[in-house]
Amino acid sequence: MKKTDYFAIDFVDGQLEFLDQTKLPLAEEYCKTDNYEIIAQAIEVLKLRGAPQIGVASAYALALSIKNSALEDIDSTFNTAYNRLASTRPTAVNLFFALNRIKNVYKENSFRNDVYSLLIEEAKKIHSEDIEKCKAIGKNGLRIFKKKANILTHCNTGKLATSGDGTAFNIIKTAFEEGLVNHVYADETRPLLQGSRLTAFELEKCNIPFSIQTDSMAAVLMKEGKVDLVITGADRIALNGDSANKIGTYALAVLCNFHNIPFYIAAPTTTFDKNILTGAEIEIEFRNKKEVIEINNTEVTKNSYDVYSPAFDVTPSFLITGIITENDFYTFPYNFLYD
């Protein structure tokens, strides 16, 4: 592998191989396993992360759960693995989309001797479909550019969040290759710094000019006219277009509304949850307070202090200028979701 090359997730020789994102950008270390519990733990501690990537990883993990299971134990093993993986990250709907696809194949074929191979093939389909969705999102996103732009983005939406080249990040990358991107501002994305660690890592790999700033600096950048548009990803989108994404996204949408700057979301259709009408129904994951109190396992404030630490917030659909999917580019109101 060349120094500039990297991949986030792959299935090789019967094992899931993935880049440990908690070590980035200072070290590129890969993990390889066929143990679903290790994958579940990796999802929980964000070694594996990003809604589409969580879906792909969980699909492989659920398939792998029966790899070495005795016939008499296979149902129990599968159901235990399903419940364990479903409990890892409650907000990202891609997780449940992928798990249920594997579950449906299992239900139809559990009696077959080759059921494990069938589950792996389904996981590979989910994997390859996500790669194609990323490509299409990148192309469809070109429609939001009217001129060469300065872009602000939040959290991480590239290879490290998907199986392909990303969602919002891939729009930035594709636009840069077309000469449509001047500079990218990457929110550091507190408290886990996905912007300063992961998005910066990917921007550097792609040779895209960028700056890191703290989340609270976005307003000043907008006031000074340095931001032409904002684009983020999403972890779950309700039927009315309300979108859950990394904490801090809602604040950006409000700032964009005040400064008359377009705010876009890019996500595959697997991120849409047609079982919920509005964002009020989205379950928000709360993280361990140590993620706020500590940085790299070093305390920066007292452990005795109370902490409020939601991992996500919900942006109302009327604040979203447009949603880009692999199918098309949509503007408010998002009636297409009811089709």
Domain range summary for the chain, segments of one domain joined by +: 9-135, 138-338
The residue with tokens 């990457």 is 186
Mean pLDDT of the chain: 95
d(CA 154, CA 118): 37
Residue 169 — pLDDT band, cuts 50, 70, 90? very high
Q: What is the pLDDT of residues 311-330, one digit of tens each?
A: 999 999 999 999 999 999 99
Pairing of strands 149-153, 229-232: parallel
Residue 322 · residue 331 · CB < 8 Å: yes
Residue 30 — pLDDT band, cuts 50, 70, 90? very high
Q: What is the pLDDT of residues 72-127, one digit of tens each?
A: 789 999 999 999 999 999 998 999 999 999 999 999 999 899 999 999 999 999 99
- List Cβ neighbours of 129 (8 Å cut-off, separation of 6 or more): none
Residue 69 — pLDDT band, cuts 50, 70, 90? confident
- Residue 186 half-sphere exposure toward CB, CA atoms < 13 A: 25
| Weakest mean pLDDT among 26-30, 67-71, 90-94, 320-324 | 67-71
What Å distances lie between residue 21 and 16, 29, 183, 194, 226, CA to CA? Answer: 15, 8, 24, 9, 30
Top-tier CATH class for 9-135 = mainly alpha
Catalytic machinery residues: 235
Mean pLDDT over residues 166-192, rounded?
98
- Asked whether this chain's domains 9-135 and 138-338 adopt the same fold, the reply is no
d(CA 53, CA 163): 6
The fold of 138-338 is Rossmann fold (3.40.50)
SS3 content of the chain, % helix, strand, coil (to 5): 45, 20, 40
Between helix 168-177 and helix 115-140 the angle, nearest 10°, is 50
Q: Is the pLDDT of residue 296 over 60?
A: yes
**Portion of the chain with pLDDT greater than 90, in percent:** 93
Q: Is the pLDDT of residue 3 over 50?
A: no
d(CA 164, CA 8): 9
Torsion of CA 88, 59, 45, 230, to 10 degrees: -100
d(CA 168, CA 181): 13
Mean pLDDT over residues 240-264, rounded?
98
58 versus 338: which is more confidently predicted? 58
pLDDT at res. 339: 75
Mean pLDDT over residues 31-38, rounded?
97
d(CA 123, CA 126): 5
d(CA 134, CA 140): 10
Q: In sequence order, what DSSP letters do the residues of 145-188 get, joined into one string?
A: -SSSEEEEE-S--SGGGSSSS-SHHHHHHHHHHTT-EEEEEEE-
d(CA 319, CA 219): 16
* Tokens (6 digits) for 73: 């134990």
pLDDT at res. 4: 53
Q: Is the pLDDT of residue 1 over 50?
A: no
Q: Is the peptide bond before 316 cis (omega within 30 degrees of 0)?
A: no
What secondary structure letter does DSSP report for 272? Answer: B
pLDDT at res. 2: 44
